[in-house]
A and B are shown apart, each in its own frame.
Chain A
Amino acid sequence: MIGAIVLLAVAIAVVLSRAPLTVASTNFVPAEAAIAYTRGNATSCQTTTLPQDTAAIRVALSGDAGPQLRITVLSGSRVVAQGERPAGWGVLANVVVPIRELSYMVLVARICIAAGPAVDPIAVLGVPLSEHPPSRLALKDVRLSLEYLRRGPKSWWSLAPSIFQHMGLGHAASGQVLPFLVLAMMIAIGVLAVGMTAEELR
């Protein structure tokens, strides 16, 4: 049991010492509302600039349980990165697709997104590709809203003070006491659960 607890503590420390994904850049396409719905299989390709260190792309698609998404990033005809998100991602989500981290900036990148097969309709957020779009848009007719994510400069540990401050806003009891209350409760839960288990299983 002690081994399991040590492993848990190490895992928490490792996770918190990493930096969270932050938005490095976007393709500046607004994601205000769904302009198309897609079912079955669909693809969309668009040209953009990908910043260095991009590790994931957030795609403005939304659905109850989305289909499998495959992203291929091309520079000319060369594949520079690929990523995949398995089917089943959540309700009302702008879905994040992890890709192999780019070690350099790709000035003219062609991003191709293959979605499907979709069981329920998937909402597509973006703008029409052409000035005279068809009355019923498909995924290929839309310039999707995309955000490019990379690891931020600060670890979770160093972000802790601002997170604590942020947690104090928008609640019944505002103030910096809330995060410490949560921390105290989680420690109490851990001590109670581990202590009781150790006592019972002795």
Chain B
Amino acid sequence: MSRHSTGKGAAPAKGSTTASSVGSRAFERRARAGRQQTERRQTRRVHTPRWRQSRLRDIQATLRGLPRAAWVCVLVACLNAVSWSIITPPFQVPDEPSHFAYTQLVAENQQLPSSSQTKYSPEEEAILADLKAVQLQARPGLSSISSSQEQQTLEKHLNMHLSRSGSGRVGGAGSGPPLYYLLETIPYGLASAGTLLDQLESMRLLSALMGGLTALFVFLFLRETLPETPRAWTVGGLCAALTPLLGFIAGAVNPDAMLFAVSAAIFYCLARAFRRGLDRKLAVVIGLLTAAGFLTKLNFIGLSPGVMLGLIVLSVRAARLDGRRAAFSSLGIAVAIAASPVLIYLLANALSNRPLLGIVSLTLHAQGHSILGGLSYIWQFYLPRLPGTSDYFPGLSTIRDLWFDKSIGYYGWLDTSFPPWVDNVALIPAGLLAGLAVRGLFKARSALRQSLVEIGVYSAMAVGLLVLIGASAYFNPNESIGFAEPRYLLPLLPLGAVMLTLAARGAGRRWGAPVGAVIVVLFLAHDIFSQLLVVGRFYT
């Protein structure tokens, strides 16, 4: 098998550029060829009685067609997340007790949470106490359980078969949608013969698989957007796989792990549609992924306007080739599938006399907020204050103190960080990479000009997410800065990977490859030191 085999599911032909592939005749030619190929396959399927087996073979062929580098990225991301899942003590990830309780409630009681107050099952409460889980959160000076006596007490409670039935009050996770938790009931059930900690570790392993999928889709996204530079796929995919924050979250029970995978998959599907046209199959897949996003975490709402914009733009393009009817029926199907969870949610709320938009309604009706004030706040949440606006973050450089420093490392219950000098030193490579990425963007300006629509769609997704997070902080003044968690930005990981590959390109033809290698080693180093930090925090 060649390292970058072409064929079904492979990248557009080597040598084609982003510039020529979008919004041009070349795009239409390729799109037409792609559709004819799809039609031929569909015709073949009509004459094949075992069409299901044929589809299975298609998927197998697609997977076999993936380059080896893609599988390495998946493996690295999975191993990394598993490693994080072992070094992070149980329940020492934000809201993990709550996410576990949600899954346990669904699995044991077959019901969804009834309240965001906290009262876990007797078994979980006992184990949390044995692990000193709550005390550890507030005290970085304390380490996890360290004596054989504590271990014996823990084992005693683990084997006492305490009740696993919850009260419906699962804490902060209670307002979240259920898809991730429904999937987590599978490993929970498979490990049900074991102890609660066995179940927790099994659930963490499912998250680790989602981390692997995230890296895979980042790789595939890069393959679509930068088809002429295969080495960029590997550099970007490996950097995504080695991102410590991805490993930390994918090594825990947290719906963010699934949100990252779903978002990366949507980025890939949109990029594919921009290269090859939006056929019905791809429209259905994007619709399904969007529905999955809504059902995974409310943060997905921020990405959805960009996804819808993408579908509309792609349908208008497809209408020029296929005629309006076919194009807009694909759009209709995608939107109907994507919006179905939202409609069901609205209907359920309306029938049960609850606020139509659930917790979102509370935010919309919050008092004492203005649109201009909100926009100014959201701007300052990420960027320096503009002249003439009120200062919402006095004494704080949000981009530096909140986003950059926290990206360097905030683990455990966000109480485990590097000493301040590390954040200062990290500015040097970050600044160099940013400079090289800008240079790479400048060098690729002609290609970028011809991809403006596609870039606009990705930008809309990014801006939508940033606005959603900023607005959440604005409407919750008591914990506003608490929303500044870099993990909320990881659904944009594919775009971050593009910037890294642009940095390697920005180094020029001679230095591009060495700089790409150094970037990978830099991410590896960041990951290793982050894990050592967590080990030092909990086990000394």
Q: What residues of chain A have their CB less than 8 Å away from a CB belonging to chain B?
A: 1, 4-5, 8, 11-12, 15-16, 20, 23, 31, 58, 62-65, 67-68, 85-94, 96, 98, 116-121, 147, 156, 159, 162-163, 166-167, 169-174, 178, 181-182, 185-186, 188-190, 192-194, 196-201
B195 at the interface (CB under 8 A from A): yes
Q: Which of B389-441 contact A (CB under 8 A)?
A: 392-397, 400-402, 405-406, 410, 413-417, 419-421, 423
From B51-59, B170-178, B229-237, B305-313, the one touching the partner chain is B229-237
The answer to whether B405 touches A163 (Cβ under 8 A) is no
Residues of B within 8 A of A200 (CB): 3, 69, 230-231, 234-235
The answer to whether B521 touches A20 (Cβ under 8 A) is no
Q: Which of B363-411 contact A (CB under 8 A)?
A: 392-397, 400-402, 405-406, 410
Q: Which of B67-87 contact A (CB under 8 A)?
A: 68-69, 72, 75-76, 79-80, 82-83, 86-87
What are 5 A-B pairs at a CB distance below 8 A? A117-B394, A120-B481, A159-B540, A174-B151, A193-B72
Alpha-carbon gap, A28 to B139, bound state (A): 16
Residues of B within 8 A of A88 (CB): 396, 400-402, 405-406
The answer to whether B138 touches A86 (Cβ under 8 A) is no
Further 20 A-B residue pairs, CB within 8 A, beyond A58-B141, A64-B482: A12-B529, A62-B138, A86-B423, A90-B414, A93-B140, A98-B419, A98-B420, A119-B393, A163-B535, A163-B539, A169-B144, A171-B86, A174-B155, A182-B86, A186-B83, A189-B80, A190-B524, A192-B79, A193-B241, A201-B234
Residues of B within 8 A of A194 (CB): 520-521, 524
The answer to whether A182 touches B83 (Cβ under 8 A) is yes
Closest to B158 in A: A172
The answer to whether A15 touches B529 (Cβ under 8 A) is yes
Interface size on B, residues (CB 8 A): 89
Alpha-carbon gap, A98 to B82, bound state (A): 33
The answer to whether A178 touches B86 (Cβ under 8 A) is yes
Closest to B402 in A: A88
The answer to whether A68 touches B395 (Cβ under 8 A) is yes
The answer to whether A92 touches B406 (Cβ under 8 A) is no
Provide the main secondary structure of the chain B interface: helix
The answer to whether B200 touches A172 (Cβ under 8 A) is yes
Alpha-carbon gap, A141 to B518, bound state (A): 52
Residues of A within 8 A of B154 (CB): 170
Q: Which of B165-212 contact A (CB under 8 A)?
A: 194-195, 197-198, 200-201
Residues of A within 8 A of B396 (CB): 65, 67, 87-88, 119
The answer to whether A119 touches B480 (Cβ under 8 A) is yes
* Cβ-defined partner of A65 (8 Å) among B86, B484, B539: B484
Residues of B within 8 A of A174 (CB): 151, 155
The answer to whether A1 touches B79 (Cβ under 8 A) is no
The answer to whether B520 touches A197 (Cβ under 8 A) is yes
B513 at the interface (CB under 8 A from A): yes
The answer to whether B86 touches A189 (Cβ under 8 A) is no
* Cβ-defined partner of B482 (8 Å) among A12, A91, A169: A91
* Cβ-defined partner of B144 (8 Å) among A20, A98, A166: A166
The answer to whether A196 touches B238 (Cβ under 8 A) is yes
The answer to whether A166 touches B539 (Cβ under 8 A) is yes
B137 at the interface (CB under 8 A from A): yes
Alpha-carbon gap, A20 to B140, bound state (A): 13
B108 at the interface (CB under 8 A from A): no
* Cβ-defined partner of A94 (8 Å) among B141, B147, B155, B231: B141
* Cβ-defined partner of B479 (8 Å) among A64, A93, A170, A186: A64
Alpha-carbon gap, A103 to B414, bound state (A): 33
Residues of A within 8 A of B417 (CB): 89-90, 93
What are the 10 closest A-B residue pairs judged by CB atoms, nearest first?
A88-B401, A1-B517, A172-B201, A91-B414, A65-B481, A4-B521, A64-B482, A117-B395, A172-B197, A166-B539
* Closest beta carbon of chain B to A85's beta carbon, Å: 6
> Of B82, B400, B517, B518, which is in contact with the most chain A CB atoms at under 10 Å from its CB?
B517
Closest to B204 in A: A172
> Of B76, B413, B423, which is in contact with the most chain A CB atoms at under 10 Å from its CB?
B76
Provide the main secondary structure of the chain A interface: mixed
The answer to whether A120 touches B76 (Cβ under 8 A) is no
B532 at the interface (CB under 8 A from A): yes
B49 at the interface (CB under 8 A from A): no
* Cβ-defined partner of B141 (8 Å) among A23, A68, A170, A182: A23
Alpha-carbon gap, A197 to B531, bound state (A): 22
Residues of A within 8 A of B37 (CB): none
Residues of A within 8 A of B480 (CB): 64, 119-120
Closest to A95 in B: B140
Residues of B within 8 A of A85 (CB): 420
Residues of A within 8 A of B522 (CB): 4
* Closest beta carbon of chain A to B474's beta carbon, Å: 13
B478 at the interface (CB under 8 A from A): yes
The answer to whether B532 touches A116 (Cβ under 8 A) is no
Residues of A within 8 A of B90 (CB): 170-172
* Closest beta carbon of chain A to B344's beta carbon, Å: 34
The answer to whether A193 touches B524 (Cβ under 8 A) is yes
Residues of B within 8 A of A94 (CB): 138-141, 415
Known contacts A92-B413, A171-B197, A189 near B145 by CB under 8 Å:
no
Residues of B within 8 A of A16 (CB): 532
* Closest beta carbon of chain B to A91's beta carbon, Å: 4
Alpha-carbon gap, A23 to B402, bound state (A): 28
The answer to whether B86 touches A193 (Cβ under 8 A) is no
Known contacts A96-B140, A163-B540, A198-B517, A120 near B478 by CB under 8 Å:
yes
The answer to whether B72 touches A192 (Cβ under 8 A) is yes
Residues of A within 8 A of B521 (CB): 1, 4-5, 8, 194, 197
Alpha-carbon gap, A163 to B540, bound state (A): 6
